Structure 1
Amino acid sequence: MKLVGSLKDEKKMLLFVYILLFAMFGNLCILKGEVDKRAIILGVAMVILLGYSHFIIRKYFSDGDKHILLFIFLLSMIGIVMLYRIDPSVAIKQTVWFSVGMIAYVLIVVLLPDLKSFSKYKKLYLIGTLIFMSMAMVPGLGVEIYGAKNWVQIGPIGFQPSEIGKLFLTAYLASTLKDYDGNFKSLIKPALVVMYSLGFMVLQKDLGSVLIFFGISVTMLYLSTGKLKYIITTFLLSCVGAVFSYKLFSHVRVRVQIWKDPFEYANDQGFQVVQGLFAIASGGLFGAGLGKGYPQFVPVVTTDYIFAIICEELGLIMGFGILIIFFLMFYRCMRSAIYVNDKFSQLLAVGFSAMFASQVLVIVGGVMNAIPLTGITLPFVSYGGTSMLTSFFAMGIIQKISEEG
Structure 2
Amino acid sequence: MDTLKEEKRVLWLTYLLIATIFANVAFVTPTFDKGAVIMGVILCGLLAYSHFIIRKFFPDGDKYILIFSNILAVIGLAMLYRLDLPVSGGAYMADEARTFMATKQIIFFTLGVAAFILVVVILPDLKSFSKYKYFYLVVTLLFMSMGSLLGKETFGAKNWVSIAGFSFQPSEFGKVALVAYLASALKDYGKPSKFSKKVGDKLSKKGSKYDGAISLIEPALVVMISLAFMLLQTDLGSALIFFAISLTMLYIATSKGKYVVMALLLFIVGAVAGYFLFGHVRTRVMIWQNPWEYGYDAGLQLVQSLIAIANGGFLGKGLGMGYPGFIPVIESDFIFSGICEELGLLTGLAIIILYFLIFYRCIRAAIFAKDNFSRLLAVGYSTMIVSQVLVIIGGVTGAIPLTGITLPLVSYGGSSVLITYISLGIIQKISEDGNSNE
TM-score relative to the length of structure 1: 0.98
The residue type equivalent to 2:189 in the other structure is Y
Aligned match of 1:21 in 12, 18, 21?
18
Secondary structure of the residue aligned to 1:118 is helix
Matched, 1:329 2:358: yes
Residue identity in the other structure for 1:176: A
Aligned partner (choices 341, 352, 375) of residue 346 of structure 1:
375
**Paired letter, 2:84:** D
Aligned equivalent of 2:39, options 37, 42, 47? 42
Question: SS of 1:308's equivalent?
Answer: helix
Aligned to 1:76: 73
Partner of 1:183: 212
- Structure 1 counterpart of 2:112, which letter? G
1:384 Cα deviation (Å)?
0.2
In the aligned structure 2, how far is the partner of 1:400 from the partner of 1:130?
26
Q: 2:115 aligns with which of 88, 100, 104?
A: 104
1:4-403 superposed matches below 5 A:
4=2, 6-87=3-84, 89-138=100-149, 141-181=150-190, 183-403=212-432
- Structure with greater Cα Rg: 2
1:240 Cα deviation after fit: 1.1
* Whole-Å separation in 2 of the counterparts to 1:243 and 1:110: 46
Deviations 1:125-162 (A, max 9, x none): 00100100001111xx2111111110111121111100
Q: CA deviation at 1:33?
A: 4.2
The number of equivalent residue pairs is 400
Structure 2 Cα separation of the partners of residues 23 and 267 of structure 1: 37
**Where does residue 92 of structure 2 map in the other structure?**
none
SS in 2 for 1:183: helix
* AA matched with 1:69: L
Task: Name structure 1 gaps, 5 residues minimum.
Answer: none
The one-letter amino acid paired with 1:28 is V
Mean CA deviation greater in 6-15 or 115-124:
6-15
What SS does the corresponding residue of 1:30 show, helix, strand or coil? helix
Secondary structure, aligned partner of 2:167: strand
Letter in 2 for 1:149: K
- Cα distance in 1 for partners of 2:212, 2:263 equals 17
Q: Which amino acid aligns with 2:129?
A: F
Matches of 1:244 and 1:144, distance apart in 2: 21
* DSSP-derived class of the 2:19 partner: helix
How far the C-alpha of 1:195 sits from its partner, in A, is 0.4
In structure 2, the residue corresponding to 1:212 is in which secondary structure?
helix
Amino acid of the residue matched to residue 242 of structure 1? A
- The RMSD of aligned alpha carbons is 0.9
Letter in structure 1 aligned against 2:175 = K
Mapped partners of 1:265, 1:180: distance in 2: 49
C-alpha distance in 2, partners of 1:265/1:44?
44
CA distance in 1 between partners of 2:152 and 2:274 (Å) = 22
Quick one: distance in 2 between partners of 1:355 and 1:303? Answer: 18
* Deviations 1:324-374, CA, capped at 9 Å, x for gaps: 000000000000000011110000000000001110000000000000000
- Secondary structure (helix, strand or coil) at the match of 1:370 reads coil
CA distance, structure 2, for counterparts of residue 331 and residue 116 of structure 1: 22
Residue ranges of structure 2 left out of the alignment (5+ in a row):
86-99, 191-210
Separation of aligned partners in 1, 2:41 and 2:7:
22
Out of 12-21 and 211-220, give the one that drifted further. Answer: 12-21
SS of the aligned residue for 1:381 comes to coil
- Structure 1 residue 274 displacement after superposition: 0.2
The alignment partner of 1:267 has SS state of coil
